[in-house]
Amino acid sequence: MELNEYQQLALRTMSDIRRDPEQSLINGALGLTGEAGEVADIVKKHVFHGHELDEQELKKELGDVLWYIACCAKALDMDLNDIAMSNIAKLEKRYPNGFTKEDSLNRKD
Are residues 28 and 16 both part of a single domain?
yes
My answer on whether 66 and 96 are in the same domain is no
CATH number at residue 64: 1.10.287.1080
Q: Please give the tally of structural domains in the chain.
A: 2
| Domain encompassing residue 46 | 3-78
What gap in Å lies between CA 52 and CA 30, rounded to an integer?
A: 28
Please tell me whether residues 18 and 61 are part of one structural domain. Answer: yes
Q: What is the pLDDT of residues 7-36, one digit of tens each?
A: 999 989 987 766 788 998 999 999 999 999
Q: What is the pLDDT of residues 61-107, one digit of tens each?
A: 999 999 999 999 999 999 999 999 999 999 999 999 999 999 899 88
Whether 53 and 98 map to the same domain: the answer is no
